[in-house]
Amino acid sequence: MTIRLTGVALAIGMLAAPAARAEDRPLFGFIDNAGYELSVFGAHFPTGLSRRDVDDDAVDGWARLMATTRADFTDELSLKIKVFGILPTTEGDHRGAFSLPRQQSTHAHYADFARLALSYDAGPFAVILGKSDLSAGLSTLYSPADRFETTYAANPMHAFKTGVWQARLDVPLGDDTLSAAVLPFDNRSLTPGVHSRWQGSSGNYLFNRLNLGVGVQPTEPFRDSDPKNWGYLAKYKAARSGYDFFLLAHHGPSAFPIVYQQNPFKTEILYPLAETLAGGASVTVDHWEFHGEASYQNTRLNRDQDFAKYVFGVSYRDSVLAGLLGWEEIQPVLEYAGEAFTDKTLSARTTADSSAARPFRDAVLARLEARISDRWKWTIGGSLNLVDRDSTLAASLEYKHTDNLTLRLDARHFEGNGDTQFGRWRNNDFIELGFEWKF
């Protein structure tokens, strides 16, 4: 435990060390500019698990310290940093500190960078080199196009984006932006450890179900850094009066894994090369907002199905009914997500396509958020997969004690068969209490 605490302390402490004034030594400006956010939560799981090799403690603690800052070397050149440290009570989900750009593991670290990027903004264009955000999509609850950043999901109750290593060019065109990015490394999201209760009944966090036969244990190799394995992205994002839209094209590894038999003695979990086209729009009319987007994937060599994932939805900001109740605002959101296929032909070596790894293939998602006052807010929401009949229901209550300190109570329920998206976690219902403090 001493080693873990030391690693986390070094990760965050380097931003809190004494230093000369930023205006005198610009290189150390990131110290004076740093902002911090501490999140501490404790969860109770009322249901134990029958498997002895699974960590099923009734109480689970999790803490994260996030530091965000930047150093401005010139008016155009800056270094942007976001570093986090994690301290969990579970064993085996985290190891070591700081990943290399060419990572070779999906194991989470006790400390790591979510952003570490040089930015050169020349006005007519901007260049970003390093680990940074790369968002896409416009939908509120689920976006099939927003698939390029990695995610910390070692504790799925507190998943957050951790950026992706890239070289990107942004060209402003009035209120629009044209972007081109190269993603040279096989960056993947960080998943729960092998003994985590979040692995689910399939035994693999990536898939709802896996039927590979007795004794088959697929490996999960990473691609080398040959340019043919890189990701290449072009994106156009536009803002207009009353509506926004985006278009993007991508060539590179798929967002969804398959199981592929390289030879009779070697089975692997792969992210096959694919081309993706995506686009979407949102329109605002008075208190109403309508949105929709779709992402089409064509996979090389028939290693996976060719399909389009789509979502459309609506949200409404209400102050009339809220006023009658003595509240400030009520905002319901409703979305439908689905899939359409253009080719289901598979290579003879594909033993499991990505269908069991793709979320919300035929689903309704909803959320109702009510802001009672400037201090109190409650939220209830959930998702229902219509074909598999599995679902999840979530509720939270927030109290904003000050502008910097928020207390939160969360609860989550999962329902369904053990081989479905949410049913695999049907023994993971929890209630959780914690706080978030910004300083």
Question: How large is the C-alpha radius of gyration of the chain?
Answer: 22
- Examine the pLDDT at 29 and tell me if it is beyond 90: no
Rounded to whole angstroms, the Cα distance separating 244 from 293 reads 12
Q: What is the 3-state secondary structure (H, E, C) of 308-376?
A: EEEEEEEEECECHHHHHCCCCEEEEEEEEEEEEEEECCCCCCEEECHHHHCCCCEEEEEEEEEECCCCE
* 240 SS3 class: strand
What does DSSP say about strands 376-385 and 390-400: parallel, antiparallel, or unpaired? antiparallel
Average pLDDT, the chain: 91
Number of domains in the chain: 1
The mean pLDDT of 1-10, rounded to a whole number, is 45
The pLDDT-based confidence of 22 (bands split at 50, 70, 90) is very low
> Taking the model in full, what pTM does it have?
0.89
The pLDDT-based confidence of 57 (bands split at 50, 70, 90) is confident
Token pair of 252 as six digits:
């590179």
pLDDT of residue 137: 94
CATH code, domain with 148: 2.40.160.10
Residue 282: which domain range? 2-438
Instruction: Give pLDDT tens digits for 73-121.
Output: 888 999 999 999 999 998 888 999 999 898 888 889 999 999 999 999 9
Phi, psi of 204 (to 5 degrees): -145, 120
pLDDT of residue 341: 95
The mean pLDDT of 194-206, rounded to a whole number, is 85
Closest CA to 158 of 5, 9, 40, 1: 40
Question: For residues 309 and 339, is the Cβ–Cβ distance under 8 A?
Answer: yes
Contacts of residues 55-59 at CB distance under 8 Å and 24 or more positions apart, as own/partner, are 55/90, 55/91, 55/92, 55/195, 55/196, 55/197, 56/197, 57/89, 57/90, 59/89
Rounded to whole angstroms, the Cα distance separating 317 from 289 reads 9
Instruction: Give pLDDT tens digits for 288-331.
Output: 999 999 999 999 999 999 999 999 999 999 999 999 999 999 99
